[in-house]
Structure 1
Amino acid sequence: MVSIPRLDAHMLKFSQSCVLVLAALSFLFNLPILVLITGLALALSAAVPAASPFKFIYRQIVVRAGLLKPRIVEDDPAPHRFAQGIGATFLLVASIVLFFTPATIVGWILTVIVFLLAAINVFVGFCAGCFVYYYLGRWGLMPRVRYDGGFRWRGI
């Protein structure tokens, strides 16, 4: 019998909401350091999911306070980690541009892209990074995945 991976859908939404808020605050208050912190948090979440700062806050504060309850769904975490890695890459490149070049507009554009994609994920439920992951899998560039939490890609 094949084991179907499971994950907490509320934790994913919480993580995306954190990215959304942090990216917005960094842009609105011109805080490049917040772009770097968010990028590092996403990178850590993608590389070592158990050490995710967003997961820690979610479990230790949000769930314990009863603000959200875990919603476990059948879904492969790999596409979501891939999406976090892409977001981390954009934000870390944005940080380098913001701190070390005069082309700050490029850094803020990258930050706004992450903000917009996080907003689409939070409010519409479409994960662009997951979508890319699935198509890379169809083309043989990533492992194939059957479940994504909302969409059922039976042909993959």
Structure 2
Amino acid sequence: MSHFTSSRAVANDFIPAPPKSLLHRVFAFPNPVNEYAARITAGIVVVMALIAVVGQLPWLVGIIAAGFVLRLAFGPRISPTALLSVKVLAPLVGEPKLTPGPPKRFAQGIGAALSVTAFILLLTGGSLPGWTLMVLLVVAASLEAFIGLCLGCIIFAFLMRRGIIPASICEECASIGVRNS
């Protein structure tokens, strides 16, 4: 490598990254995320989903679905459930325990898909499949909330190992695999 090339490479290390686009800033998701906030949010989802299933309240499923869509699209900045978790409840637990954000966003996407589908089914007469999806959501959110097992994160890691999700999406995840999911 010539002196010119190496000097140029060193100089480029000090060039600030271009500012993120407005679209990227609006739809940003934190990385890393506080594991405690994620688990508390999952716990709130468990409570709301159980109330919805036991009370047969499709409108509450709609609220749960809206929360997932908000968290998926905007991170914790707009979702009332996430704001309560991040700003109020998680700080009571103690210092944040940080974990990669992309798998958590993927898990929010799965929650959004399940809850939106359940809501549509419930509105269109598909009670049994709609409530079944909500029970599956309760199981998945309970695993996250009570034992820290994020099924969406495990699926994310599996898809990364298969090359379906590129390693560049979460370089830290590529080196940890399932153990931190």
TM-score, reference length from structure 1: 0.83
Q: How does 1:26-105 map to 2 (within 5 A)?
A: 26-49=52-75, 50-62=77-89, 67-73=92-98, 75-101=99-125, 103-105=126-128
Which of structure 1's runs of 4+ aligned residues deviate more than 4 A? none
Q: Of 115, 120, 124, which aligns to 2:143? A: 120
Structure (1 or 2) with the greater helix fraction: 2
Deviations 1:45-99 (A, max 9, x none): 0111032322211244435xx64334232x2101111111101111111001101
Tell me how large the CA RMSD over aligned residues is. 2.3
- Max radius of gyration: which structure? 2
**Is the Cα contact below 8 Å between 1:6 and 1:72 reproduced in 2?**
no
Share of identical aligned residues, percent? 27
Pair 1:60–1:127, CA change in 2 (3 A): closer
1:101-153 alpha-carbon deviations (Å, 9 max, x no partner): 2x2010000000000111112222211111111111111111334347x8248
Give TM-score, length-normalised by structure 2: 0.72
Gaps of 5+ in 1: none
CA distance 1:121–1:61, shift in 2 (3 Å): closer
Counterpart of 1:141 in structure 2 is 164
Tell me which of the two structures has the higher relative contact order, counting C-alpha pairs closer than 8 angstroms and 6 or more residues apart: 1
Q: For 1:10-29, what per-residue CA distance to the aligned partner results, in whole angstroms no more than 9, with x for missing partners?
A: 11111100111111010011
Q: Which amino acid aligns with 1:126?
A: L
Query: Unmatched 5+ residue regions in structure 2?
Result: 1-30
